Structure 1
Amino acid sequence: MNEELSLDQGSLVHAWQQQLPEYLNPGDSAQVEADLGNPQGLRIHINAAGRQFYSFDFECSYKDTREVSVALVDVERDGQTVNERSEKIQEMTSDYVRHLHECAQALQRITKPN
């Protein structure tokens, strides 16, 4: 049986802001915001380290207390939308999706009821 998430969105956002940097690459930065259209969702913006100025936007929503679904919304390079199907972008995206799932796993200590 899937347990519904009982943590309020503000606490969830705060927890992700604290935890996520531990799962990103050195030099990457992230902003986590509430998804206003989904009370169990987050919007995550990641600025990739390096000189190429890539940024990634993800929707992350809780299916239950343990599992999140992550969807890529947009990739930009220096403020311009880029082709998300290029091999480099696909590789970076799958890395970030993995990091987001790892972060969600780590946060089970607060999302999963006792």
Structure 2
Amino acid sequence: MTEASVLNIDTDSLVQAWQKTLPTVMKTSDECHIQADEKFPDTLLIHIKNAGRSHYSFDFRCKYVDKREVHVDFLDVEQDNKSIDEQTEDIRLLIEDYIRDIHECAQQLKGLTKQ
């Protein structure tokens, strides 16, 4: 088990907590998968599959700045496993929604990460 550098929780427990909590703040039909970034112990990689007919999937990097705050980077969006332009209005709105969901999840887990 690796210790997250700015957190007092091991990475495996952090990933499990995110995997349990993030779906509760997202639209119920969307799916997510959380994994630790092997290179950076205070960073999570988040993959979200949009439940709509568009078959979009999104990748984000979520880095803990401190025990309460995260910085979220959008990495990629795909449709049917092919990268697509993220500059369309629909895609930008979905990215913004998911970033809000990720921040909300971090807020819900602050009791765990502040220990």
Unaligned runs of 5+ in 2: 1-5
Distance in 2, matches of 1:28 and 1:111, equals 25
> Residue 14 of structure 1 aligns with which residue?
16
* TM-score, scaled relative to structure 2: 0.93
Q: Identity percentage over the alignment?
A: 46
Alpha-carbon distance in 2 for matches of 1:6, 1:112: 7
Q: Secondary structure in 2 aligned to 1:10? A: helix
**Structure 1 letter corresponding to 2:94:** M
Is 2:87 the counterpart of 1:85?
yes
Please report how far the alpha carbon of residue 26 of structure 1 lies from its aligned counterpart in structure 2 after TM superposition: 2.1
Q: Secondary structure at the match of 1:30?
A: strand
1:59 to 44, 58, 61: 61
CA shift digits 1:49-97 (9 cap, x unpaired): 1111000000001001100000011100111101011111110000000
Cα deviation, residue 109, structure 1? 1.2
Counterpart in 1 of 2:3? none
Q: Which runs of 4+ in 1 moved over 4 A?
A: none
Aligned residues, how many? Answer: 110
In 1: Cα distance, 2:86 partner to 2:54 partner: 15
**Residue of structure 2 in register with 1:74 after alignment:** 76
1:45 aligns with 2:15: no
Secondary structure in structure 2 of the residue aligned to 1:6: coil
Unaligned runs of 5+ in 1: none
With the length of structure 1 as denominator, give the TM-score of the two structures.
0.94
